A and B are shown apart, each in its own frame.
Chain A
């Protein structure tokens, strides 16, 4: 067995009445990869946050390199050699890439001489190049890059410090295939260099592939540790949920079923430099999947269909009333919903309550005359939050205190609350545990049978194959192929159409 580098014993963390982590003990070894799995809200991020100095444990002792370890802040932990890639966005808008990369380290830098912006930029350039990101400009504002690029910038920053411990919290599910593979490479290299690695992921195949050991949590409590051959999806699933899950969680049928009625027509849609001449029809009760590499333009395509990006040419029309979806207000008024990929930046109102987030698009529905009654807001939010089973204390709880998967449920609840008829979803199950995923798939199936249409982009091929009636693939900004739902459709067939 390799040498233990960090030991966290009997860790507890309470947030008011919520017991996020209770009595969990964990050991990290040099050059070993530990997987941390559990359903949404089971306390994985909380446990990692304590190690990474985000906040102190309520109770518990950590020993790092043989000494007691009590980080006072994230910077403190980073200085000690512990790097944490969070589940949420870790870069700060309004600052350049280089400034983000050296945030909080100015004093260390100034020891090496004065901090000149020029030096910062040069150093950032070097680190980015070493990580194969020569297309990123250190002087550019960080928000001009995609979610994926920002995550990779964060990763590069973390690696530049040669960490002794690297914690990766649900980063891979936010990435395209290419980005994911890059992360796997990084993990492999770091492992060889003797770094202790923690991986938090809901992709159990990925966990199985990468981890030497897997620690399973449920409701903040330690369940079991799996080693070697014991690590497989079946075992992990069973321990996470506390019961066996039967069969697959996708749609049960393999028929391509939708009505003839076309509800949404996209015609020759182009956004200069991103995608061009995209045309398709969405039918009533259809789940239409779009697959491709992250840079193929599919994310922007969804935004354009929703009216958030102005197309250079082409049109998006609601067939029933011939309304053109030219901005988001028109779309929402006509019961079109959009669930963005970048949840934290584009769909959540972080410092507000679950209630405020759920009712944000439904005021027209609940207002009486000019005024909105607080009791109506409460009723609607409560109904929707309970229906989709958000794990919460009550609807007045702040959204930023929810676990990742529960945040996503709130976003979906918001659009069901205003009775949307067309759902545009960008990676709807990103960062969601298998239990919730199964619920969301079931919900999509129910919506479909109620005659609601879903346009879904996904980077998970199995999700597309499992859920969509039709799959359209995109490559370099153009539609490449179309597949109809069938038993025989395989992942490799689709991948060959997108790369």
Chain B
């Protein structure tokens, strides 16, 4: 029973917050423009969160997101220039390459994946900033796609695919088994390293998509493109009640619900006219609250 209730916390939080802001912002929250903004803002984080959920399911953290996003944008721009289709394809390719790089360092180099990710985060950011300092990377052509329907379409495709792969294929199921007991997974005849690598590739692909969306939104690439993506994604997933140590408790809905909570909170507080500095403080308090209630503590049971 308590388990059931815990599962409901993120959903309940989302509903309550939605209603709260709907009634306390003189209708500003429910305007079409605001809701469209909300979706466009959430899209980038949500897409990346869907991929990251695969990595978290097998009990790893991916810290490369922001850096990898910036790196993919810059490298793709340097090769493709204003050629939009090529630019998009390259973004995906570089995203996947970044994912594979983390996997390689983690598996062959036997270092924790989050460290490999951090190395990409700094390297990617460094490259982006140094290139942006000398080059003006405008992507005016991309702006034509900057509308709600395109964002909704991409979001729908990514979320549905992510959901299906996560719950109804070997790729998703094995991530959860690995997160639950890697030794038993190996002894069940499952190639643990191969499936971990696939998770990083998926995460990389969603970083690539997130990178495309970022460029479409701002019509340019700057040194700070994709900044804080990893923190936002991890925050969103935690708000969505994801299992921090992965395994069978990991649910794809955490990515969707968590991102929505994150951005609705942001949006509503701003509409209240709260000073942006305080918005972050409220977010922090809210984060602490939900996570304390909904986090999966089963791994501590043994010690208690």
Residues on A close to B: CB < 8 A?
A: 73, 92, 103-104, 306, 308, 327-329, 331-333, 338, 340, 345-352, 356, 360-361, 363-364, 367, 370-374, 414
Contact = CB atoms under 8 A, between A and B. Distances in A.
B184 interface: yes
A126 B240 CA distance: 49
A338 B304 contact: no
A361 B188 contact: yes
B247 A332 contact: no
Contacts of B168: 371-374
Interface stretch (B78-86, B133-141, B169-177): B169-177
A351 B304 contact: no
B180 interface: yes
5 contacts: A328-B188, A332-B188, A333-B189, A345-B184, A360-B185
Contacts, number: 77
Contact of A352 (B180, B191, B302): B180
Contacts of B153: none
Contact of A351 (B185, B189, B247): B247
A352 B183 contact: no
A103 B304 CA distance: 10
A283 B227 CA distance: 62
Given A360-B188, A361-B188, A348 B164 contact: no
A256 to B, nearest CB: 31
A340 B303 contact: no
B75 interface: no
Interface in B259-304: 298, 302-304
A361 B184 contact: no
B184 A329 contact: no
B147 interface: no
A331 B248 contact: no
Given A332-B190, A347-B184, 6 more contacts: A308-B187, A347-B188, A351-B249, A356-B248, A367-B170, A372-B169
Contacts of A329: 189-191
A372 B186 contact: no
B43 to A, nearest CB: 26
Interface of A is mostly: loop
Contacts of A360: 177, 185, 188, 190
A15 B284 CA distance: 38
Interface string B182-220: 011111111100000000000000000000000000000
Contacts of B184: 345-349
Given A351-B249, A370-B169, A371-B168, A331 B189 contact: yes
Nearest to B247: A351
A321 B176 CA distance: 33
A104 B300 CA distance: 13
Nearest to B178: A349
B231 interface: no
A393 to B, nearest CB: 16
In the A-B complex, the 6 residue pairs with the closest CB atoms: A332-B189, A352-B248, A329-B191, A349-B180, A361-B188, A363-B170
B181 interface: yes
A10 B248 CA distance: 38
B303 A338 contact: no
Contacts of B187: 306, 308, 328, 338, 340, 346-347
B170 A349 contact: no
A361 B183 contact: no
Interface string B80-109: 000000000000000000000000000000
A363 B171 CA distance: 10
Nearest to B189: A332
B59 to A, nearest CB: 13
Contacts of B177: 349, 352, 356, 360
Interface in B140-181: 164, 168-170, 173, 176-177, 180-181
A311 B164 CA distance: 40
